[in-house]
Amino acid sequence: MNPQNHLFINMESAPITVSVGANVPDFEMETYEPTHADFGKVSLADIKRAGKWTILVFYPADFTFVCPTELADLADQHERLDELGATVVAVSTDTKFAHMVWRNTEGLMKNVKYTLAADPTGAVSRMFGVYDSATGLALRGTFIINPEGKLVTSEVNFYNVGRNASELVRKMEANVHLMANPSEACPANWKPGAKTLRPGKDIVGNVAGALE
């Protein structure tokens, strides 16, 4: 089956249980860890205890087409995301064994060093509302969870549209800045060092002036 050609999505068994601004329930998944060439486990509780951000990158399946291009792009940005204090976890409904073979055979995956998590029952995919019960696959969902366990960013693409990891970095940079500066807001295309906004009556109707 080619998920990119699948045009019907049955989300009835995949209610969205976590929305932006809500606290994410704990979850645990088995993993393949490329840096250790071994299996392991990842849990949100452990990441939170370490004071880290969590980035979940759901993708449809190993051994498909758009997926390795996305994960290679993510690998190119992994070092910066790590510097920002994020644990990156790529997730599909494949097993940890499939992850291992795919990581070690697909040329585009050779630089992937972040965790590859297995969600074969679709439990975590359902939690984030990206599980397609008609195929047993996950849509291309990207979620950022802050160190307190709150979901702060959500993005979901259809099967046939790949994501941009540079934009994920920009969102992480903005979220990290705003966690340290909660009275500010980041305008469109904000990058570190650029001007932020301080919402209040003085800039109502004059956002242009506030950005000068």
Task: Give the active site residues.
Answer: 67
Q: Are 81 and 112 in contact (CB under 8 A)?
A: no
Give dist(CA 157, CA 129) in Å, integer: 12
Distances (CA, A) of 77 to 74, 88, 141, 162: 5, 10, 17, 15
Dihedral angle over CA of 17, 190, 59, 49, nearest 10: -60
Around Cβ 103, how many Cβ atoms within 10 Å?
Answer: 21
Q: Are 165 and 69 in contact (CB under 8 A)?
A: no
Give dist(CA 91, CA 95) in Å, integer: 10
